Structure 1
Amino acid sequence: MRRKYHDGRHLDDIVHPTLRKQMHPESLSIFSELAHDCLKEQGYYNIVERLREAFEIQWKHENLLLVEKFAYFKIPLSHIKLATNQFSHIHCIKSCIYESVYKGELSHFDRESGFSIERKNNVELPKKTVIINRIKRYKKIPKDFFAEIEILTSCKHPNLLAFFGFCDEDFEMILVFECDFKVTLYDYLRSTSNRTNLTWEKRMRICLGIAHGLMHLHNMEGKPSMIHHVIQSENVFLDENWTAKISNFRTWLLSTMDPPRARQRHVVDDIYSFGILLFQILTGRLDYDPHASMAQRHFDEGKIKNMVDPRIMEEAKECSFTPKERPSEDSLNTFFKIAHQCVVETPNERPRLEDVIKSLEKALHFQVSKSLMLNIVLFSWYINSLSLVVSRKLIHHLKRNVGI
């Protein structure tokens, strides 16, 4: 009897006609085979995987219009495998229980037309450096995956990596982001040779960029809010103008149906992580602990400069004629205060991102104002020195030629 009904020719006898019309043949076949195997005395295998496969096929069948809506962003799996060398560990830059993250170059793909192209006459094919997030299937269902894609297509901000495309072939769930940047903030903070380029003013502008990017994620108009949850230096790319570009922000979504308290808890968690990052940027140490008693003592005793990355202070001594390299004391104090507020133990006492941005802008203003004033003084000194030299030369010329 069981074998009889497992045969597709007899399924119509046991499935309701209305329901049968809704079913995709392949989904029904997988489901019925699984049900038959479960009733065998020999047992069963891969129940969850086979149910998920049947579900995904059926979901795409019922949501064909939604899938077609994002067809422009679809990237062939073969191109992604080529970019990652079959998802090689060499290209893997991060791996966790939710996903694996790769960096590679997409080739043989024309982003404007959305179609693959072939190499002709030895002409170099266009390439795009990308970050590839390969989501583990059991961590997300197709409905959530496409809901996330819908949000990402409208999530555009100068301080966020731009969404480039996705792939759902062979039941994969892959998100692709543009990343034409070779270094992260982590690379610069850990490298002694590179840190000399990160002046105090540049560091504050990087912090402001990260804060603005987070603000956009937390307050997306007409869309569910997003949180980052893993604000770290590894997830901040830097372009040629030192503009911060947040990556890996798509991992956690806040539904509009989440209770307000739950939403607020996730947001203040982002604030805390951002505070840790602020201290790392200030000190140049990736392992810095802002809760250590030494940090508060330095502030209380007015010795914040003892916490500052030594490279910044060394540059100020070596390049005393370049005033913008000198950290302003008012700027440091303002920066430290807001960073310290971000990492207080009580979540409700942490500041809002709006207040963080205002404080960082104030700290930057102190630094830029000091640099401007010192530049004016330096320029005045230069003009006076130049005038003195010109005057001396003029007097010398007059003495020789006029006989004064």
Structure 2
Amino acid sequence: MPVSEQFINICARRLNHKYGQEDIEFQTKISMLSSLKHKNIIPFLGFCDEDNEKIIVYEHAVRGSLDQHLNGPNLTWFQRLKICLDVARVLSSIHYDVVHCDINSSNIFLDKDWEPKIFGFEHSTKYPQSWRHRLLFSHHSNNTYMTPTYDVYCFGVLLFEVLYGIKPVKTQHCVKVEHGIINPKLWKQMDRQSLTRFTKIIDNCLNEDPVQRLTMDQIVKELDDVFELQWKHENLEHSTDADADEDDPMKMEWLKIPLSDIREATNGFDKEHFVASGGYGSVYQGELDVLAIEGEGPKIRTRTKVAIKCINNRQDEASKQGFLTEIELLTRCKHPNIISLLGFYMKANDIILVYEYATKGSLSDYLGSKRKINLIWAKRIQICLDVAHGINYLHTNMEGKPRIIHRDIKSENILLDENLNAKVADFGLSKLHITNQQSSTIHTKHIAGTNFYVDPEYLTSAKYKKESDVYSFGVVLFEMLSGRLAYDPVCIGENDKGLAPIARRRYNEGTLKELIDPKMIEEDDERIVTLNRGPNEESFQAFSRIAYQCLAETQAKRPTMEVVIKELQTALNLQVRTFYKNCQTFLHIHFINYYTHSLTF
């Protein structure tokens, strides 16, 4: 069939001649089909409505329907989970105004890359958004499904079929993990925790009370977690022994540090070694024999000043999960703007992480009224650039490291070394964004992050993307411009959400200059060239423009970190260029004064 001057394979579905006897009904369906655009919906190409024939034409999917593969050797458990997650995302997307009404394995086609394409929208129903969570009944559907008009139930049947290769019977009210009827090859591939959570989703979907079932949005979040657990399991299972040692915290002998050495380094966690504390626990400083941070080849232990983070052990095991997450992520990260993990200790109630020591503390120490020293504008931009490079590294997929979303970017989690080079730290809330996972969104059940830095769209939707990190970084940019922390009492007094909405409002009003930190403009000594402690006009405009874009209230309008880096570099270049010009003028004037003065003698 010619489409855009090319021939492609098609699938033509001939409808029962009784279907859509009223032209209005058929045209309504065609209008709906043409409006459904999604990478996991089979493309609608056209229709025929003549001589009492009603035919709908779709793009052909080369691997046929999903039901043809459920009992065969082609689909791994990981691929099956990926298909289920993609289908759930489609349903979540269309459920704002469409119910599919016939979700089953024969209506899910697979392309050459095993990507699912939902098919069979002829019996779908449109309804108002206010009905989204109601159970709808329609006379169109396959009676094989006990509540055929409710997509969530049908999706539960699909999950059951993907797991066991058979459909559930009517008397079945819950799903038990019966490994005897699961394909033995699949059983060997399965992560047990992932499988348990998968079966709980099925139980919920098949609940006889529709009110008790999850929404498709919630199912996507649950399946995201299931998929990630399976991915981690396979990542460990299929790696080399050496790689496995690096990925599994319990096997990384080269990073383990005896508790006796840690106690000795801190003199029994004496208060003289104490650095800081927070909700996570306490940080101490000391010296330990640790592996060299940089370099290839054999690792050599050297005496190094380190930061020792003792994590509170809570009954909910959140601290342990944060500990494991931090080890998993930091062992994958090698970047000058990411804090380095040097070792750890874990046994019973003791959970300790050992990092390179950032001698100049956190960025928050250089903001607010109790700041350590005052930073000139060029140095502030350079620190922001360091952080941007670190975040961009996290957000980029590369060999040995998937995309990582930090989820808690703030000035307290940015550390400075002796040369004031910035390093992103604290990965306890971070999430791996799996390379195979095409969606750029992470669905979360619990909101994570720090008030005043959290993406407002994430707060309302629980959908976290790398653009959410960009928003948090935007708050840090305005902290650097204003010299105030996001939760400064002055800011909260003006707006209970802190600095971010104030910065947005002032930018729109054209009064942003009133936020510039006045301490940047103060001169220490009139005889010293400090003419550009504060931002010049061009640098200010470039910096404030990109900072404002980072704070866009919707994720789609925020720039990537690559764009942020480019614009911050421009702001720095504009500031430095003016500084050099002023230096030349300053030296020229003083040379003339000196030369003129010397002629008088």
Instruction: For residue 190 of structure 1, report the CA deviation from its aligned partner.
Output: 2.6
Instruction: Tell me if structure 1 keeps the 8 A contact 2:358–2:415.
Output: no
Q: Distance in 1 between matches of 2:557 and 2:263?
A: 47
1:305 and 2:504 matched: no
Match of 1:24 in 2: none
Match of 1:279 in 2: 478
Match of 2:441 in 1: 262
Match of 2:596 in 1: 388
1:104 and 2:312 matched: no
Q: Distance in 1 between matches of 2:378 and 2:410?
A: 20
Tell me which amino acid in the other structure corresponds to 2:431: L
Q: Distance in 1 between matches of 2:474 and 2:551?
A: 6
1:330 and 2:538 matched: yes
Query: What is the aligned counterpart of 2:276 among 93, 96, 114?
Result: 93
Match of 2:309 in 1: 132
Match of 2:44 in 1: none
Query: What is the aligned counterpart of 2:398 among 216, 221, 227?
Result: 221
Match of 2:385 in 1: 208
Instruction: Tell me if structure 1 keeps the 8 A contact 2:322–2:428.
Output: no
Q: Distance in 1 between matches of 2:371 and 2:354?
A: 31
Matches within 5 A, 1:5-404: 66=245, 70-81=252-263, 91=274, 93-96=276-279, 100-107=280-287, 109-112=288-291, 126=303, 128-132=305-309, 134=311, 136=313, 138-139=316-317, 149=327, 151-170=329-348, 172-192=350-370, 194-196=372-374, 198-222=375-399, 223-256=401-434, 257-258=436-437, 260-263=439-442, 265-286=464-485, 287=488, 288=491, 289-292=498-501, 296-297=505-506, 300-301=509-510, 303-315=511-523, 321-393=529-601
Instruction: Tell me if structure 1 keeps the 8 A contact 2:357–2:417.
Output: no
Cα deviations across residues 366-385 of structure 1 (Å, max 9, x unaligned)?
Answer: 11011011111112112222
Tell me which amino acid in the other structure corresponds to 2:475: I
Higher mean displacement: 179-188 or 257-266: 257-266
Higher mean displacement: 198-207 or 251-260: 251-260
Change (3 A) 1:328 1:179: same
Tell me which amino acid in the other structure corresponds to 1:70: M
Q: Distance in 2 between matches of 1:136 and 1:258?
A: 32
Higher mean displacement: 151-160 or 361-370: 151-160
Higher mean displacement: 324-333 or 141-150: 141-150
Q: Distance in 2 between matches of 1:147 and 1:306?
A: 41
Identical amino acids, percent of aligned pairs: 34
Instruction: Tell me if structure 2 keeps the 8 A contact 1:335–1:360.
Output: yes
Q: CA RMSD in A?
A: 3.6
Instruction: Tell me if structure 2 keeps the 8 A contact 1:229–1:269.
Output: yes
Cα deviations across residues 24-72 of structure 1 (Å, max 9, x unaligned)?
Answer: xxxxxxxxxxxxxxxxxxxxxxxxxxxxxxxxxxx9xxx9973686211
Higher mean displacement: 309-318 or 136-145: 136-145
Q: Distance in 1 between matches of 2:278 and 2:525?
A: 42
Larger relative contact order, structure 1 or 2 (CA cutoff 8 Å, min sep 6): 1
Change (3 A) 1:148 1:220: farther
Change (3 A) 1:154 1:356: same
Match of 2:94 in 1: none
Q: Distance in 2 between matches of 1:156 and 1:285?
A: 31
Q: Distance in 2 between matches of 1:317 and 1:141?
A: 49
Match of 1:41 in 2: none
Q: Distance in 2 between matches of 1:269 and 1:173?
A: 29
**TM-score with structure 1 length normalisation?**
0.67
Question: Relative to total residues, which structure has the larger helix share, 1 or 2?
Answer: 1
Change (3 A) 1:69 1:337: same
